[in-house]
Chains A and B, each alone.
Chain A
Amino acid sequence: KAGVTQTPRYLIKTRGQQVTLSCSPISGHRSVSWYQQTPGQGLQFLFEYFSETQRNKGNFPGRFSGRQFSNSRSEMNVSTLELGDSALYLCASSFNPDRVGGEAFFGQGTRLTVV
């Protein structure tokens, strides 16, 4: 079974630009969550999608948005990039139909650098 795939692996953008990151979950997983990882801050929750619906979101500004498609693939978009958005963005998929929590499988992440 293929794991969680994130593209691209690395990205360099300039301030003010926007960026779209992609995540393909494990086949059969309908829940996809996104996290921002920075040194010292750990993994900060951005949002969670299930069957194309955003079920929960973290405390990030509206510049951070996402969506999920009918095949469970998800995209995350950041508009008007700031230097502080430089981070590793991880997505995780899980088989969580009963909403009781279960193992989250992470992708390799997209390393975003804003210059």
Chain B
Amino acid sequence: GENVEQHPSTLSVQEGDSAVIKCTYSDSASNYFPWYKQELGKRPQLIIDIRSNVGEKKDQRIAVTLNKTAKHFSLHITETQPEDSAVYFCAAYNTDKLIFGTGTRLQVFP
């Protein structure tokens, strides 16, 4: 079955710097890759997603890239702000199953 690995598990950056979170997946049949943000005590919420027929997608300060050959996908956050502090989860979808990575705790220091 699908396995998603996510790195790093924690990431600390200064406000205004960029943050990059990387994920790898194992099943080449996976075709949809969302990223979720979970603030403390709250439910996960979708922040950006990408499908397997697209290599890159951008939405304001966040972007996601996908390398299907290497089975890698990454989240890029530019000009980080304290409100970006949260746990971020990548996921891969295949056959009615959305498999999540173990999460990255991002801390943005003012």
Contact = CB atoms under 8 A, between A and B. Distances in A.
Interface of A: 31, 33, 35, 40-45, 48, 50, 55-56, 58-59, 90, 92, 96, 99-104, 106-109
8 contacts: A33-B98, A42-B6, A50-B96, A100-B32, A101-B93, A101-B98, A104-B98, A107-B43
Given A100-B31, A103-B34, A43 B44 contact: yes
Interface residues of B, number: 23
Interface stretch (B54-62, B64-72, B100-108): B100-108
Given A58-B97, A104-B98, A109 B32 contact: no
Contacts, number: 59
A103 B46 contact: yes
A96 B95 CA distance: 11
Given A45-B97, A45-B98, A48-B97, A106 B32 contact: no
Greatest chain A CB density within 10 A among B34, B45, B91, B96 is at B96
